[in-house]
């Protein structure tokens, strides 16, 4: 059982985490939700379309203008509080690697800290433990935040993913983070080239077999674009294909831009796997 905030999710229940970027330079939506009103509209739409988690980030993942901890907190903390007020049952995640920002977000009502940079600030897990919130433990290949990989190599990329994420997860639990609120993430594109990300997807079942719930952040990423040779705005089909494969292999949480489309993919895979009945079953029964 995965427990986040007020919600519980069964082992065969796929969960959508909708991305809401409070940045003026986000790579995909180009700052569409930087201002409060469109950001709140995005939350409302995502929840209506089936997202159980809203992931709020205040710093672009890639290189760009420097954003200090104070500015990052200014962008997200008040927004977290407003989302908490308007949507009391939604799980609020904050995408940050900084302990100080994570603490301010937890004070405002966050339920989950999404550490996409692999524990670069070890204090973030301590914050999660202190506030008894969830934590995403991600493999980033030792990369510094907001850097791109350059000629990175692994003897065995999945072995390294397992070593890092399981170590982070066990440390989090030892600190006091509830075991049922810890997730592991292979970190597609983070500290990896396209072949690494494809292999991580192909071998995702090895992560699932550990028993920790697996989160994947696939949405419109560079490994999809390079695999299909498609620009940023033409990666949705590749993303959904990768989502279907990940769902079949047992990933549970999906961090996405396109909520409605992802919901259909996950429901279809769950029905094929026998975990979900068809919404309608009239054919051949009349």
**pLDDT tens digit string along 12-67?**
999 999 999 999 888 777 778 888 999 999 999 999 999 999 999 999 999 998 99
Which of the following is catalytic: 6, 255, 263, 276? 255
Residue 242 has phi, psi (to 5 degrees) of -65, -35
Q: What is the average pLDDT across 105-109?
A: 98
Sheet holding 215-217, edge to edge: 182-185, 134-138, 112-115, 91-95, 53-57, 15-21, 253-256, 215-217
Q: What is the average pLDDT across 77-95?
A: 97
User: Residue 113: its pLDDT value, please?
Assistant: 98
Q: Which residues, other chains included, contact 204 with Cβ-Cβ below 8 Å and sequence gap of 6+?
A: 186, 214, 216, 245, 246, 249, 250, 251
Over residues 195-209, the pLDDT tens digits come to: 999 999 999 999 999
Q: Which helix (H) or strand (E) holds 107?
A: helix 99-108
Structure token digits, residue 253: 């949480």
Q: 140 with 97: CB under 8 angstroms?
A: no
Which of the following is catalytic: 22, 75, 98, 221? 221
- In this prediction the pTM is 0.96
User: Residue 29: its pLDDT value, please?
Assistant: 77
User: Residue 190: its pLDDT value, please?
Assistant: 97
User: Residue 133: its pLDDT value, please?
Assistant: 98
Q: What is the average pLDDT across 173-200?
A: 98
Q: What is the average pLDDT across 153-181?
A: 98
Q: What is the mean pLDDT of the chain?
A: 96
Does the active-site annotation cover 255? yes
Over residues 191-244, the pLDDT tens digits come to: 999 999 999 999 999 999 999 999 999 999 999 999 999 999 999 999 999 999
User: Residue 31: its pLDDT value, please?
Assistant: 78
User: Residue 96: its pLDDT value, please?
Assistant: 98
User: Which residue's structure tokens are 């993430």?
Assistant: 185
Distance of CA 80 to the CA centre of its chain: 17
What is the pLDDT confidence band of residue 104, given thresholds at 50, 70 and 90? very high
Please give the share of the chain, as a percent, with pLDDT higher than 90. 94
Range from 9-13, 24-28, 257-261, 269-273 carrying the lowest mean pLDDT? 24-28
Does the active-site annotation cover 221? yes
pLDDT surpassing 90 at residue 277? yes
User: Around Cβ 211, how many Cβ atoms within 10 Å?
Assistant: 9
Structure token digits, residue 20: 């809401």
pLDDT surpassing 80 at residue 286? no
- Name the 3-class secondary structure at 284: coil
């Amino acid at each position: 059982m995965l427990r986040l905030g007020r919600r519980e999710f069964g082992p065969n229940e796929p969960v959508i985490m909708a991305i809401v970027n409070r940045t003026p330079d986000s790579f995909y939506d180009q700052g569409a939700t930087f201002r409060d009103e469109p950001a709140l509209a995005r939350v409302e739409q995502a929840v209506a379309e089936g997202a159980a988690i809203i992931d709020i980030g205040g710093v672009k993942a890639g290189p760009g203008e420097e954003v200090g901890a104070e500015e990052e907190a200014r962008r997200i903390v008040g927004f977290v509080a407003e989302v908490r007020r308007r949507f009391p049952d939604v799980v609020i995640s904050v995408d940050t690697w900084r302990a100080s920002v994570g603490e301010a977000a937890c004070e405002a009502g966050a339920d989950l800290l999404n550490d996409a940079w692999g524990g670069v600030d070890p204090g973030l897990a301590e914050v999660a433990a202190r506030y008894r919130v969830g934590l995403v433990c991600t493999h980033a290949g030792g990369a510094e935040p907001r850097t791109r990989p350059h000629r990175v190599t692994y003897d065995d990329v999945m072995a390294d993913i397992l070593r890092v994420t399981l170590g982070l997860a066990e440390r989090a639990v030892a600190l006091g983070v509830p075991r049922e609120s810890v997730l592991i993430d292979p970190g597609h594109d983070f500290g990896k080239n396209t072949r690494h990300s494809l292999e991580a997807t192909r071998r995702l079942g090895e992560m699932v077999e550990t028993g920790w719930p697996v989160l994947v952040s696939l949405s419109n990423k560079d490994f999809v674009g390079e695999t299909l040779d498609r620009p940023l705005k033409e990666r949705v089909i590749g993303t959904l294909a990768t989502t279907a494969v990940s769902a079949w292999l047992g990933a549970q949480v999906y961090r996405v831009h396109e909520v409605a489309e992802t919901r259909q993919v996950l429901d279809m895979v769950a029905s094929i796997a026998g975990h979900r009945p068809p919404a309608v079953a009239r054919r051949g029964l009349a």
